[in-house]
Structure 1
Amino acid sequence: MKIGLLHPRSGIAGIWAPAMDAAAILGAGEINAAGGILGERVELVVADCGFDPEDALAAVDTLVDVEGCGVIIGGHPSNLRDSVSQRLAGKVPYIYTPQYEGIACGPSTIAIGSTDHELMAPSLQWLKDVKGADRIFFVGNDYIWPRLAFRTTQTLLARQGGHIVGHAFLPNRAGQDFDILQVIARSGAQVVVQALVGQCAIDFNRAFAVAGLDERMLRFGLIIDETVMCAIGADASINLFTAAHYFAGHPTRSNDSFLERYHDAFGEWAPPVSAASVSFYEGLHVLAGLAGAIGSRSGPDLARHLGGRLSRPAVRTLLDDKPVGRSPSIYLGQADGVRLEVIATFTT
């Protein structure tokens, strides 16, 4: 059974590709060791979707029409999701794994990742209550996810009593000058909330520290994970916070077991595990569980099943023994060098 893995292998989001590949290989190996999906072995086929919808659709067509993939697992930015979903509708199931906006997805599609609202609501409240920080400057890339994350931030601050003192949307490319840092420095912000992708987050946070703002303001970054932290570096990580359903350094029985298998397979210096790669791994196990539930591994059968608008909580019941699991907690992490240490835990 061929499964297409659709994620960026280049551009600003390409930084996650090595760990996502490794996690997917581990997941496929586990499924095959257990007898495959309804008796058929899993074979992974990888395609680079880039950051442009036309490139993503070309990659999807290659996976489905040329390679013969009967399932697509997507681990890419959300500006590609609707185009991919419409292309696959009714033909091939589409499992979308990253953190996302929490909005309804298209036909034959299920999203299994965490949502901005569930991560940001307790985190912003914590920053206000514990750090006394309620003046926010928001900075994000310029596409659907950061723009909806900004709306979520506005909604939460209106409810919690915080204030937006400024915002900016930056081009979706690396190597920027970040003149916006001068505006942020004058804004009176206590926290800079970020919805920046991959290399953009790395470049921004490095520049933020060079400008000396890391000693003056807190930072809260969505999708700042272990992979991104390794590239930001210890010298630029002061007063940097993030939130996720998963941190590699947070011990649980299921996570300890997962990490042992991961490093047994790929060695001590394997690509750093993060929420992005773990969710990709879980996407494969969701597929195996869905096929078992309906008694079919047929792409159209699975697509019709997803067309019934399965809920994310219902699908996550298939992940009881996996690193994030059925009902994930929300962890607030703080950078300690290049590590992320859990400093608070919230229930969903």
Structure 2
Amino acid sequence: MTPPVSLVLPSTLMLRGPMPGTLGIGLLAPLSGVMGIAGPSILNCAQLAAEYVAERTGFHPELVPIDAGQRPAEVARAVRQLLDSRVVQGLVGAHTSDVRVAVSRVVPQEVPYIFTPPHETGSGRPGTVFTGSAPQLQLRHPLEWTIRHHSVRRWALVGGDYVWPRQVHSEARRILRALGQEIVLDRFVGLGSVDPERLVDEARRSRAEAILVSLVGRDGITFHRGAAEYGADRQFVRLCTALDENCLLAIGGDSTGMLYSAMPSFILQQDDEHQNFLELYLRRFGVTAPLPASYAEGCYDGVLLLAELWMSDLLDSMPPVHAALSLAAASKRPGRAVVGRSPGGRLARAEGTELVVIDQVSM
């Protein structure tokens, strides 16, 4: 019989203590805040990956959720308490990078912290393993494609005011200028403070032709709803770095042919690896479950990678980053959770409530 997979509250686990044969996984999922819309599917995918591990190893994974939608300091405090109790062997996070920065400060370098969304570069610690794409890989090909197919030249950049969008903007400025483009607006907005009417007005006054949107979750939903309300959805080409299918549904869909998303994965992509994952998800949770969009699929990969690291014994002799790279180099079989697997470069267009992959490049 397959060992069960438990979802255990941190307080329960700290009172009970560790048990032999269990793999404690601190799961940092956004259950509230701007990314709260992604939380249910992230939990589902973490459970699916844990069940996969249990079925094939005989270990009993225990998922210990922490709401990563709280303020960064609160999340870091909860993580520190969990680590101090020594009831988890590592962390998997699918959340915003401002939270990651705070959490990484309290994670000892020997504890693996698998961070799965697209991420900024140059700010990791020895315990932090990135599996998502960096801005250069996420942006360059989609920007080139958009310029080529829409003949745009003047860009507005709109993003959240925290570490990841700031680096996205920095990389976008470098790429766009190298491509002979003009940046006419560069705006950061506090999380939860999007004023779509003001942003649309600023884009119009700047005479932008395209907008690079790096607003996550609810902030992105608010902006795109406002763009439609104020008639800007057919005026500007919008290229998004954090728009997944759940957000597109919340927007109400888009049929303008002007809304694009550059993300690590999309539900309708046709490669065998993704299709196998989707089949497993639908068989386990049904067609009415929350959509297993990019953030959730990345979390699935992160749980698998943490389990592989824990079972490899590599963590006994090297930091998690080096262990993950060693594991990837030594693997002779195809696998989903491979460090260095770059999902950057996929570009999809909104067609109603679906994101249809229209171009991709192997990095």
Residue in structure 1 matching 2:72, options 43, 53, 62: 53
Establish whether residue 245 from structure 1 lines up as the match of residue 264 from structure 2: yes
Contact 2:264/2:346 (CA < 8 Å) preserved in 1?
A: yes
The CA distance in 1 between the partners of 2:333 and 2:266, in whole Å, is 17
SS of the equivalent of 1:287 reads: helix
SS of the equivalent of 2:157 reads: strand
* Mean CA deviation greater in 333-342 or 178-187: 178-187
Q: How much has 1:67 moved relative to structure 2?
A: 7.3
Residue aligning to 2:172 = 153
1:241 maps to a residue whose letter is Y
The CA distance in 1 between the partners of 2:175 and 2:330, in whole Å, is 26
Structure 1 residues 311 and 295, CA, compared in 2 at 3 Å: closer, same or farther? closer
Contact 1:209/1:236 (CA < 8 Å) preserved in 2?
A: no
The CA distance in 1 between the partners of 2:271 and 2:31, in whole Å, is 30
Q: How does 1:1-348 map to 2 (within 5 A)?
A: 1-36=23-58, 40-66=59-85, 68-173=87-192, 176=195, 178-235=197-254, 238-294=257-313, 301=316, 304-306=318-320, 308=322, 311=325, 314=328, 320-322=334-336, 326=341, 328=343, 330-348=345-363
Structure 1 residues 307 and 180, CA, compared in 2 at 3 Å: closer, same or farther? closer
With the length of structure 1 as denominator, give the TM-score of the two structures: 0.90
Residue by residue over 1:152-197, the C-alpha shift from the partner in whole angstroms, topping out at 9 and shown as x without a partner, is 1110012111110112111211564541211111221111101101
Residue aligning to 2:11 = none
Contact 2:110/2:319 (CA < 8 Å) preserved in 1?
A: no
Structure 1 residues 214 and 94, CA, compared in 2 at 3 Å: closer, same or farther? same
Structure 1 residues 56 and 74, CA, compared in 2 at 3 Å: closer, same or farther? same
Residue by residue over 1:264-323, the C-alpha shift from the partner in whole angstroms, topping out at 9 and shown as x without a partner, is 110111111111001100011111222333366xxxx38x43154855994796983439
The CA distance in 1 between the partners of 2:42 and 2:298, in whole Å, is 9
The CA distance in 2 between the partners of 1:171 and 1:3, in whole Å, is 31
Identity of aligned residues (%): 30
2:43 maps to a residue whose letter is D
Residue by residue over 1:135-166, the C-alpha shift from the partner in whole angstroms, topping out at 9 and shown as x without a partner, is 11000111111111110111001211111011
Structure 1 residues 66 and 293, CA, compared in 2 at 3 Å: closer, same or farther? closer
The CA distance in 1 between the partners of 2:240 and 2:234, in whole Å, is 16
Residue aligning to 2:15 = none
Gaps of 5+ in 2: 1-22
Contact 2:109/2:319 (CA < 8 Å) preserved in 1?
A: no
The CA distance in 2 between the partners of 1:118 and 1:307, in whole Å, is 20
SS of the equivalent of 1:138 reads: strand
Residue by residue over 1:100-131, the C-alpha shift from the partner in whole angstroms, topping out at 9 and shown as x without a partner, is 11334113111111122112101111111121
With the length of structure 2 as denominator, give the TM-score of the two structures: 0.87
Q: How much has 1:42 moved relative to structure 2?
A: 1.0
Structure 1 residues 79 and 328, CA, compared in 2 at 3 Å: closer, same or farther? closer
SS of the equivalent of 1:288 reads: helix
Structure 1 residues 331 and 269, CA, compared in 2 at 3 Å: closer, same or farther? same
SS of the equivalent of 2:319 reads: helix
Q: How much has 1:51 moved relative to structure 2?
A: 4.3
Q: How much has 1:208 moved relative to structure 2?
A: 0.7
Residue by residue over 1:10-31, the C-alpha shift from the partner in whole angstroms, topping out at 9 and shown as x without a partner, is 0111111000000000000000
Contact 1:254/1:323 (CA < 8 Å) preserved in 2?
A: no
Gaps of 5+ in 1: none
The CA distance in 2 between the partners of 1:315 and 1:50, in whole Å, is 34
Contact 1:135/1:162 (CA < 8 Å) preserved in 2?
A: yes
Q: How much has 1:230 moved relative to structure 2?
A: 1.1
The CA distance in 2 between the partners of 1:93 and 1:122, in whole Å, is 31
Contact 1:86/1:107 (CA < 8 Å) preserved in 2?
A: no
Contact 2:133/2:342 (CA < 8 Å) preserved in 1?
A: no
